[in-house]
A and B are shown apart, each in its own frame.
Chain A
Amino acid sequence: MRPTDWLQLGLFIGILAAITKPLGIYLTQVLDPAGKTWLDPVLRPLEKLTYRLMGVNPWREHGWKGYTFAMLLFSAVGVLFTYAILRLQHLLPLNPQGLPALSPALAFNTAVSFTTNTNWQSYSGESTLSYFSQMVALTIHNFTSAAVGIAVAAALVRGIARHSAATLGNFWVDLIRSTYYLLLPICLVFAVFLVSQGMIQNFKPYDTAKLVEPITLPVGTIDAAGKPSTEPQTITGQTIAQGPMASQAAIKMLGTNGGGFTNANAAHPFENPTPLSNFMQMLAILAIGSGLTWYLGKTTNNQAHGWSVWAVMMILFVTGVLTCWWAEAHGNPIHQAMGVVAADGNMEGKELRFGIFNSSLFATVTTAASCGAVNSMHDSFTPIGGLVPLFMIELGEVVIGGVGAGLYGMLVFVVLAVFIAGLMVGRTPEYLGKKIHAFDVKMAMLALLVLTASILGFSAWAAASAWGRAGLNNAGPHGFSEILYAYSSCTGNNGSAFAGLTATPADGDSHYNVTLALAMLIGRFLMIIPVMALAGSLVKKNIAPPSAGTFPVAGSTFAILLLGTVLLVGALNFLPALALGPIVEHFLMLHEKLF
């Protein structure tokens, strides 16, 4: 844990804090249909044309049901659009490698994965997808699923801020404005920056490099009789995968999508060439989510509330980073006993240019948000180092969180926290002047319970089934961790993995692809529907003036209560499962037990 690493951590949080307000101000302009931005001269005509083509009146607002319906319909169209392209990949243009169509289960999993902002990758990018599939079928969701998340968060915030009203905004306007004014311009600049660091952006077929030193290696093959054998094979070339990567990588970070252009994602030297590109990508992951907390404060006219929510997120974030970093820096005693330098920490699955600290920080950032891009292989982390990203996802990704999704997830916890505070003092709970009734608490609880049931239910099923255990890369408790991580990641719409798990086995078994896709759908839409119902209930209530008995939703008492609620719910739900995976593995590792 070097001094420069502490400086990097301080710099990262300092910059994140500094961009929160400017981004929040901009979000306020973008999420107001009449808002003025400095991009109006360029984008306003495009925006108006889009509404005209869509046949949408931007001034007609939706109620919660209409808003939810429009969002669901749009998402359904998106799933079909992507599924069709992936199934027809071999007939479509921009496929210089001549890659074949995806199988139905894999295409379904991938279409759902990108529509739900999960970007779980059951496929390997460079060997499965054509440039057209990457650029159109997947990238469209990188934009739209992020914009949908922002739209839902904006609708909930409006539900909190407005009173005695019925409508929550126009879904189509929120979708289009978030895409055009927020995501597109930032990505344009960010993508060019990433190219300057060495990221590729081209439409060339793959290049072949003539190796400086041809190398002869024993290669494991399976002969005609099905017996594995090794044969020496001389390799003279290195095929270098190419493609339009930077344009996709920029939005995958900013939109907390996380789906890599390559299999190794942001660990690949093309997809994350330098420590500076790494730093900027981590900032991009948290930027919009952080700005949305300011938007919350501004819209509800209680900026202290917005910052209190931000502070709770940061406390959880820093705790996660320090724990993960500590565990990875201490490394693996089993390997150290074999003669590996102890001070180097656990380098398996990590890139040298990022080292221990930036790998641990990235792992925490990507799971605090629902991004899921990885710059190191979480599967090879130490047990406690791997527990941090897993637990971050299971907390509901409310630590900044996915764009929009993090804020509405956290607001569900806020409603629970004021409910608990109300129970403790024996008053009807109030949130920003609105009385919280049974219906509101039921919707908040429903949103949380759906996630828990999906994670634990599917994990239990897979762990007890032959198809579940067949996909594992590791035995012992680590194998269980792989399963638990997969369903946590998909339900939480994160998309990172303990990537040893094979979800698309060679024998064509589709259990994993289908159940993981279901977990993604449940985690996305069965969470959004109660959240929207909550927004619809809150928007109708009138606001009572604050009195001496009003529980303040800013300051340290509120922050501690919110922190406690998040941790308590997370711990109660998941501690037993975590004990069977990473926690027991930690103690087995200390006793040098191998599987």
Chain B
Amino acid sequence: MKTILAEIRPALVATLVIAVVCCGFYPLAVTGIAKLAFARQADGSLIVDKHGVIIGSSLLGQNFSGEGYFHPRPSAAGTTGYDATSSGGSNFGPTSQKLADSIRERVAAYRTSNGLAADQPVPADAVTASGSGLDPHISPANAALQVARVAKARALPPEKVTTLIASNTDRAAFGLLGVDGVNVLKLNLALDAIK
């Protein structure tokens, strides 16, 4: 019994001391260093317009549906999609009727809006929801299929739009890690900046 009581103080004190060190000192130290060295990233890589208004984060996707904009991936975040307080995927499994129905509709809608033939294969990322629902990227193949629509709506030469895609593509790290992705928000902002 005496040995049992003897361990109570260490258990309580260890919890408090570790809370101070690992939950007080440690996050504050990281915050301090981050503020000094990487302030932009630590604050969410926010994009601000010329009036100083926050218009998004370069890491987070936004919804776009206009003819003159590139469209992001479908999103399951929140009830409206791209809700950055409610990240998440659809969590529909491979034999889900709901998922199959959504994909069928999205394939048809993608072909219609981009003027594609009825048997044209559609890139997977264009018709599937991402894990976070905030995926900022689309595949280069998906972007290429949207060029004609965007160029027409903006009365721009398609080559000009294609150049912008290339300059707003985040490349695989060291040409090795990960996959090339076109940042939709940055690309659409670059398009808006032309006029």
Residues of B within 8 Å of A342, CB to CB, are 121
Please report the C-alpha to C-alpha distance between residue A10 and residue B46 in the assembled complex, in whole angstroms: 36
Residues of B within 8 Å of A349, CB to CB, are 89-91, 128-131
CB distance B11 to A70 under 8 Å? yes
Residues of B within 8 Å of A332, CB to CB, are 94
Residues of A within 8 Å of B8, CB to CB, are 73
A50 within 8 A of B: yes
**In the complex, which residue of chain A has the Cβ closest to the Cβ of B46?**
A207
Please report the C-alpha to C-alpha distance between residue A435 and residue B121 in the assembled complex, in whole angstroms: 64
Within the complex, what minimum Cβ distance (angstroms) separates B120 from chain A?
Answer: 7
CB distance A212 to B56 under 8 Å? yes
CB distance A279 to B177 under 8 Å? yes
A570 within 8 A of B: no
CB distance A175 to B14 under 8 Å? yes
CB distance B178 to A355 under 8 Å? yes
CB distance B31 to A244 under 8 Å? yes
Residues of B within 8 Å of A351, CB to CB, are 130-132, 135, 137
CB distance B44 to A242 under 8 Å? yes
CB-contacts of A320-368 with B (<8 A): 331-332, 334-335, 338-342, 344-355, 358-359
One of A262-270, A443-451, A546-554 contacting the partner? A262-270
Residues of A within 8 Å of B173, CB to CB, are 274-276, 279
- Given A213-B64, A247-B30, A349-B90, is A339 in contact with B131 using a C-beta cutoff of 8 Å? no
Which of A352, A473, A588 contacts B138, CB < 8 Å? A352
CB distance A140 to B18 under 8 Å? yes
Within the complex, what minimum Cβ distance (angstroms) separates B155 from chain A?
Answer: 18
Please report the C-alpha to C-alpha distance between residue A197 and residue B45 in the assembled complex, in whole angstroms: 10
CB distance A478 to B96 under 8 Å? yes
CB distance A594 to B44 under 8 Å? no
- Given A140-B18, A172-B10, A379-B91, is A355 in contact with B100 using a C-beta cutoff of 8 Å? no
Residues of A within 8 Å of B56, CB to CB, are 209, 211-212, 238
Residues of B within 8 Å of A220, CB to CB, are 79
B179 within 8 A of A: yes
CB-contacts of B31-90 with A (<8 A): 31, 33-34, 37-38, 41-47, 49, 53-57, 59-66, 69, 73, 77, 79-90
Please report the C-alpha to C-alpha distance between residue A206 and residue B86 in the assembled complex, in whole angstroms: 13
A46 within 8 A of B: yes
Interface string of A127-146 (1 = CB under 8 A from B): 10000000110011001100
Residues of A within 8 Å of B38, CB to CB, are 192, 195-196
Please report the C-alpha to C-alpha distance between residue A376 and residue B135 in the assembled complex, in whole angstroms: 11
CB distance B87 to A262 under 8 Å? yes
B13 within 8 A of A: yes
CB distance B92 to A247 under 8 Å? no
Residues of A within 8 Å of B54, CB to CB, are 207-210, 240
A66 within 8 A of B: yes
CB-contacts of A44-84 with B (<8 A): 46, 50, 53-56, 66, 69-70, 73-74, 76-78, 81
Please report the C-alpha to C-alpha distance between residue A355 and residue B33 in the assembled complex, in whole angstroms: 32
Within the complex, what minimum Cβ distance (angstroms) separates B57 from chain A?
Answer: 6
CB-contacts of B95-111 with A (<8 A): 95-97, 99-100, 103-104, 107, 111
A315 within 8 A of B: no
Q: Pull 22 A–B residue pairs with CB atoms less than 8 Å apart, ordered by A.
A: A55-B10, A139-B22, A140-B15, A175-B14, A184-B26, A202-B43, A212-B69, A215-B64, A219-B80, A242-B44, A246-B30, A267-B89, A269-B135, A332-B94, A340-B124, A347-B125, A348-B129, A349-B90, A349-B129, A353-B137, A473-B92, A499-B89
9 more CB-based (< 8 A) A-B contacts, given A270-B60, A351-B130, A500-B91: A202-B34, A242-B44, A246-B30, A264-B88, A273-B45, A349-B128, A351-B131, A377-B88, A585-B93
